[in-house]
Amino acid sequence: MAFLELEGVAKQFGAQTVVDDFSLAVGKGEFISFLGPSGCGKTTTLQMIAGFLDPTRGAIRLEDKDLTAIHPAKRGLGIVFQSYALFPHMTAAENVAFGLEMRNVSRADRAERVRAALAMVGLAGYEDRHPRRMSGGQQQRVALARALVIKPSVLLLDEPLSNLDAKLREEMQIELRQIQRTIGTTTILVTHDQNEAMSLSDRIVVMSQGKIEQIGTPQETYEKPASAFVSQFLGKTNDFAGAIDRTATPALLVVGSWSAPAPAGLSGPVTVSIRPERIGFGDAGLGAKIVTRIFQGNHWLFQCDSECGPAIVIRQNDGQPQPTEGEAVRLTWRPEDMSVRARTVA
């Protein structure tokens, strides 16, 4: 049974539909990411779950109870805001204690739980600091402790790491994942960072223009993107124009000078997507010329000019000699590494 359920949720501001027909079932303890570019409706969806916005249509249920009928102050959800929204006039401990105070937790109990929550996020000893005297990362931890101390049924994270620098963000990702695993709180993360979504979540909801593009595990969404948008948004990808020739026997999928037995179903013009790390250099295949070669430590990045337009190739730095700039190469890949979609010819 789904723990948190969204069914056909939609939000309109005037004539503009910001979220449309959003349906999702979240299991207890699951870590879900809403991933998409800015303006795709992910934050709006989160705000509807939090109760700061009312859905225009659809139902949101938590443990089979209608969540939209409950006032946001009574929903008992923990929220970490992008700006953290800490109370600047209160110390870290007072910030964390606020939610407990609102729940009339006794003073002694409160002190104990605040201390434990701050220790959990690695801020033991910072109780009496004011937020403005703390670094961004520390403020983020206070915000997390404040959201978790009330033992929320669902933890909502609204781009919580976007204000941190790259190194700190990576540390916080690992820590966030560990904390979530330990306490097992059902968590929804809103982010525009595909790496963050992939490294943290059990499942990713990829959104674009208010609609769900794909729901799946990080691996599924990366390797079997359901749409051109998903394959473009999650990591780098090569899209080649190809065609399926049903007149040949057996039927052939042809991309430039590369060809393979055609998959069942499709025919005519198609788009073929292959991840750059799945392309190799071979003796036969798509003709290309290396335009630039960039060394990136553990791998090489090649930008090529192929028969089917620009292509990028990533090769592991495994000590083998690599083609140089200006060299003519043949690009080849295994048929199972590509995804093929019908292409409408303009």
Q: Residue numbers of the site for other proteins (CB under 8 A)?
A: 50, 52, 72-79, 81-89, 98-99, 102-103, 130, 132-133, 146-147, 150
Kindly provide the b/e burial profile for residues 297-333, where b requires at least 16 CB atoms within 10 angstroms of the residue's own CB. eeebebbbebbbeebbbbbeeeeeebbeeeeebbbbb
Taking the complex as a whole, the smallest distance from the CB of residue 229 to other proteins amounts, in Å, to 29
Q: Which tokens is 44 given?
A: 């709006």
Minimum CB separation of residue 200 from other proteins in Å reads 21
Of 133 and 236, nearer to other proteins (C-beta) is 133
> Between residues 131 and 242, which has the closer beta carbon with respect to other proteins?
131
Q: Which is nearer to other proteins, 29 or 76 (CB)?
A: 76
Q: CA quadruple 117, 119, 125, 126: dihedral positive or negative?
A: negative
Q: Smallest gap, in angstroms, from Cβ of residue 43 to other proteins? A: 11
Sequence-distant (≥ 6) Cβ neighbours of residue 76 within 8 angstroms: 150, 152, 153
Q: Are the C-beta atoms of 300 and 333 separated by less than 8 Å? A: no
Min CB(114)–other proteins separation in Å? 13
Q: How far is the CB of 15 from other proteins (least distance, A)?
A: 17
Q: Which is nearer to other proteins, 96 or 253 (CB)?
A: 96
Question: What SS3 state is found at 14?
Answer: coil
- Least separation, in Å, of the C-beta of 98 and other proteins? 5
Longest CA–CA span in the chain (Å) reads 80
Comparing CB distances to other proteins, the nearer of 91 and 267 is: 91
Q: Given the complex with other proteins, which of 60 and 312 has the nearer CB atom?
A: 60
* Spatial separation of the C-alpha atoms in residues 247 and 236, rounded to whole Å: 33
50: Cβ–Cβ under 8 A, 6 or more apart, which residues? 72, 75, 77, 79, 156
